[in-house]
């Protein structure tokens, strides 16, 4: 029996890098001495008041079908949150609630891009962007953000990549895997390109609450961007709610009508109790965000200090998020080989950053989403490995 050609689009060039995550998690389940630094799943617990809201909703019978676009109160809370970082008023009817950032990103791509379109993707980029865009029939055009420039966007290179077939620009801000938070002037430059060339911009802001210094800026607030920007995000990282699968896409009202149809055929709406929990998190979780940001910043500083002791392993100090990039080319030009050698020798699992694009080949991505004691031990093992 044959499957549809669509299944060939579901992977990506970097898929094999994730095998180390599968293996290390299985080893952890077997009770082996491993430390998993290859995934961005916070070790923090979902706030108690958020869990209580879900439990209360369940006990009160909130177990039936819900609105396809999401509940009004939650949509208002999301609109208010984005309005703050955008610096302009975002109306709730621009918001569609979906099953996490990934589902929102995929759904938006399916509604915006099609066969014959080109989509500019800033490289490195989160691994699922490739398959999400390919599933639409569009062609992704990678534009490097060179390591030599701190993985920051090269506006001239983006401009050169625009052709008559270009339909949109895709990126994450802050970036996964690099932890780079785009400056206002960089966003303004991308916005000008989008306006001048009549392009969509799809931006993943899931790490927007975890910028360590300065403010997070949303490109939707730049001149001319309100009707051409789709902002996707979720409660996953900010509130330690990765498993709740509650995210959103915010864009033009007409796009919301299409996304509602996507929800109809893929989700039929999110569980009500999940939306109640997310609503409470957004409305009452300001202190929890501040706490999470402080924790990750302290962990970043500690990991940077410890890994600076490694032999010939330059680091990119992240400005946001829960990942740090390390250049391992002095040890092995193939970062996937380095990651496996490290794992087999020390039990520490890191991810080949080449999975995120050609620009980051030779680098590994290291998560600091674990407790301080585990991170200190992992860093010690990595440092000793580089000296062996």
Residues 297 and 370 in one domain: yes
Residues 118 and 234 in one domain: yes
Of 250, 284, 318, the last residue of a domain is: 284
Domain count, the chain: 2
Residues 85 and 221 in one domain: yes
Residues 227 and 101 in one domain: yes
Of 228, 255, 284, the last residue of a domain is: 284
Mean pLDDT, the chain, whole residue set: 96
Residues 86 and 159 in one domain: yes
Residues 58 and 150 in one domain: yes
| CATH assignment at residue 108 | 3.40.640.10
Of 234, 256, 284, the last residue of a domain is: 284
Q: What is the pLDDT of residue 40?
A: 86
Q: What is the pLDDT of residue 9?
A: 83
Mean pLDDT of 69-78: 98
Residues 41 and 52 in one domain: no
Among residues of the chain, what percentage have pLDDT more than 90?
A: 95
Residues 187 and 316 in one domain: no
Residues 8-64 pLDDT 10s: 888 766 667 789 999 999 999 999 999 999 998 889 999 999 999 999 999 999 999
Residues 141-157 pLDDT 10s: 999 999 999 999 999 99
Burial of 3 (0-12, 13-18, 19+ CB in 10 A): exposed
Q: What is the pLDDT of residue 371?
A: 95
Q: What is the pLDDT of residue 14?
A: 67
Range of the domain at 376: 5-45+287-387
Mean pLDDT of 212-241: 97
User: What are the phi and psi torsion angles at 13 (to 5°)?
Assistant: -60, -30
Mean pLDDT of 215-242: 97
Residues 329-356 pLDDT 10s: 999 999 999 999 999 999 999 999 999 9
| CATH assignment at residue 24 | 3.90.1150.10
- Whole-angstrom CA distances from 1 to 4, 5, 311, 358 are 10, 13, 52, 35
């Amino acid at each position: 029996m044959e499957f549809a050609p669509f299944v060939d689009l579901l992977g990506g060039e970097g898929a094999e890098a994730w095998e180390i995550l599968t293996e290390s998690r299985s080893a952890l389940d077997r009770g082996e001495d491993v430390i998993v630094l290859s995934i961005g799943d916070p070790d923090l617990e979902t706030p108690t008041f958020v869990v209580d809201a879900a439990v209360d909703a369940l006990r009160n019978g909130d177990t039936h079908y819900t609105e396809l676009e999401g509940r009004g109160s939650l949509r208002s809370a999301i609109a208010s949150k984005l309005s703050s970082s955008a610096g302009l008023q975002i109306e709730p009817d621009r918001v569609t609630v979906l099953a996490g950032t990934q589902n929102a990103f995929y759904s938006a791509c399916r509604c915006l891009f099609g066969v014959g379109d080109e989509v500019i993707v800033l490289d490195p980029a989160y691994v699922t962007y490739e398959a999400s865009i390919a599933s639409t029939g569009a062609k992704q055009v990678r534009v490097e953000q060179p390591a030599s420039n701190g993985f920051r966007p090269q506006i001239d290179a983006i401009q050169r990549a625009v052709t008559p077939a270009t339909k949109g620009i895709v990126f994450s801000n802050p970036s996964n895997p690099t932890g780079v938070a785009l400056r206002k002037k960089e966003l303004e430059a991308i916005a000008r390109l989008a306006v001048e060339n009549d392009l969509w911009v799809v931006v993943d802001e899931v790490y927007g609450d975890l910028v360590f210094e300065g403010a997070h800026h949303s490109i939707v607030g730049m001149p001319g961007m309100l009707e051409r920007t789709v902002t996707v995000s979720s409660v996953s990282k900010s509130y330690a709610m990765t498993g709740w699968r509650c995210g959103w896409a915010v864009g033009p009202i007409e796009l919301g009508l299409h996304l509602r149809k996507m929800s109809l055929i893929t989700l039929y709406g999110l569980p009500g109790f999940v939306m109640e929990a997310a609503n409470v998190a957004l409305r009452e979780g300001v202190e929890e965000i501040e706490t999470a940001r402080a924790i990750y910043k302290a962990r970043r500083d500690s990991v940077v200090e410890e890994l600076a002791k490694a032999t010939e392993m330059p680091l990119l100090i992240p400005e946001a998020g829960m990942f740090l990039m390390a250049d391992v080319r002095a040890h092995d030009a193939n970062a996937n080989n380095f990651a496996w050698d490290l794992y087999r020798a020390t039990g520490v699992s890191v991810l080949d950053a080449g999975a995120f694009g050609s620009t980051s080949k030779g680098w590994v991505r290291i998560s600091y989403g674990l407790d301080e004691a585990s991170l200190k031990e992992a860093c010690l093992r990595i440092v000793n490995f580089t000296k062996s």
